[in-house]
Chain A
Amino acid sequence: MERVSSLAGAITEPLQAHRRLLAAATFALLGLVDILVFARFAGHSQATFALSLPDAQITVPSLHVPAAPTAYALGAVSLAAAVARAVREPSQRLRRWLIAVVLLCFVISLLCWADAGKIPLNLVNLLQSTVAFSIPLVLGALAGCLCERSGVINIAIEGQLLMGAFGSAIVASAFGTLWLGLLTGSLAGGLIGVLLAVFAIRYLVDQVILGVVLNVLASGLTGYLYDRALVPFQNTLNSPTTFPAVKVPLLGDIPILGPIFFDSTVFLYLSYALIIAVQVGLFSTRWGLRARAVGEHPVAADTVGINVLATRYRNVILGGLIAGIGGAWLTLGSVGSFGKDMSSGMGYIALAALVFGRWTPLGAVAAALLFGFTSALQSIMATLNVPIPSNILLMAPYVATIVAVAGLVGRGRAPRADGKPYVTS
């Protein structure tokens, strides 16, 4: 990763102009898709977007828009953004806004086209599942954030999610207690965290390889046990129920926002707490300052009396515990039973969210929401019978990940000592 960024850096001067044109071309391309594909094929019908759920206390009227003209207009906006981008290098803030606007135009055009002349598309529903799909990504990214901020690369988020899903399913099913299942899921993720910590910190194993190995281990172990135990004893070991959705009084009744943010399972509320805890913890407490110092310049931390290795152990294991909760969501918050390799790359997407979010908790959360949105979009598109093969739709989150990390990340900087073992002479 370091090499890539230095390579990218070495050619920056000519790249500035290059990059500017590339960005403008991308904007223009998206704008043209808005116009030539979405607007053109939308026909003359209306797209209808519902803004409240069927059981809402206060209903908000649905939005009816003429599909084709809207897509044309949004395409024009994108083209204007492309021109603006090509003319002059804007400030960083403006650059980000332009990206956001163009992407938003693209998504709305897409929705207009997909829903043109069909049953109303429920936007609240779409965003509600965005938030839900984001939970494991958010928790995984927070786990990665804790690890990497203290200087240990965590590729094993995937394995932590999987172990969390597995452990929580079995225990919740066997004991019939969801909370015990949640706790076990967290501990199972923590167990991978312990392995990661011991081998990375104590035995100085290359952390990228180690992470991949742990993922393979988690996949193999849960897969084997699934075949041997969960399939034959499906009813006792692999049929936990799921946590019920709990609506927050008052807040949950706010139109549009209520159902999205305040009417969900305990996982969402736990995520809120953890996001705040990690953000405040890392940047406003003694523990966080020390952890970040350890991740940036462990020798300096050592010379002022901070125990580098202990700090890393603590953070890596804490990260594992958090990722394990994300794993528990897969079974206890979503599907309701364990399936082989059910994390399906979410750990890697969480890692991408961390990088995309520049190693900050809030940035990672924003990135996770973006990836969650593509997942939600994909599942809703599938129900609308759009003429796109479902396999291609399923790729959407991963394509978005690659584009985001490769193209849009820009100058994010990993903690300086990230991935470097600390050895005292």
Chain B
Amino acid sequence: MKKIYFDHNATTPVAEEIFEAMVSYLSDEWGNPSSIHWAGRAPKKAIDEARENVSALLNCTPQEVIFTGSGSEGNNLAIKGTVFSRKAKGNHIITTRVEHPSVMSTLKYLEREGFEVTWLDVDTEGMIDLAQLEKSITPKTVLITIMSANNETGVILPVGEIGRIARAHKVLFHTDAVQAAGKVPLNVKDINCDLLTISAHKLYGPKGVGALFVKRGVRVVPIIHGGHHERRRRGGTENVASIVGLGKACEMALRDMDEVSSRVRALRDRLEKGLMEKIPYTTRNGHPENRLPNTANLGFEFVEGESLLLNLDMLGIAASSGSACTSGSLEPSHVLIAMGIRPELSHGSVRFSLGRVNTAEDVDYLLNKMPPIVERMRSMSPLWSAEEGKRAEISFEEKGH
């Protein structure tokens, strides 16, 4: 069966050169980097190099990089680590309604612990209102946490502006850059952020490793207490092979980003334009320009996302749904709902996220295979009137829940 992967925002295949860089740290170089003796020396050097590579991608110093076990851990450390150390100053945090669950759930937990959170709305294109942000800042505000780019729609938020506002009000600014890293340039000095999260497996590196940039002088209390690792900010013997993989992934991202992003953008545009032309009642979710070059989030009216994904999967095409139904929750995507998209349409939304392995043939395969699937599903949908080629008027009894 053909296998076509359009789900790079979920994870990416590990690049050959990254895998090769990692292997010796799972075999010959097994030492503990903290050891004083011969066994620890090569692993220690490898970690130092990886830290250099991460800092080069973000334009910070190596000392400002903390290795973590995932993007989620990075977000947890950035948020809890800063607000816990600033309890004396205040208890107010500002965020948006479209953050990743690792930010959202952390903030909901903090709300239960007595913190106050302002959840900024987004408009129909997924953008926040900067004036609204500035108005929300109070003397009690200790942290603004807003993602660099949204995982579902690819919408890029104005982090540079947010950083300037935060700085002017002397409030810390954290950005979850897990989706933006490697796809668009990230420079912590331009963004004006104090903390920034990345994850290796979105960059063709291994799962289970990430990094958090913490600006020099910004105090972060650990959430994993332990030894002296990571300047006492994250306990645990370093996951050497994975850290090497992350370092290599950052090196590769810095080297290849321009070339890969322009190629991927052309493929994404071909995919999006093609589907919107071939399938009537297809809408784009998210800002048309301010978004990642690899992501297209499209709503197909009158059909449901999981069914679409299952049908695509039977043809070897991997994509993901705006409907969180597929991930075990029953609610439609909180991101699309925050953008004011109707529940049925957000249930019928599909995210295609492209990557360096995709080709024009992959896109054309989708453009040939998908329109008949949607047509067949619409013919089965009570919301669609095939004879009239428009929405069917139906009323129904509410059941379930």
A binds B: no
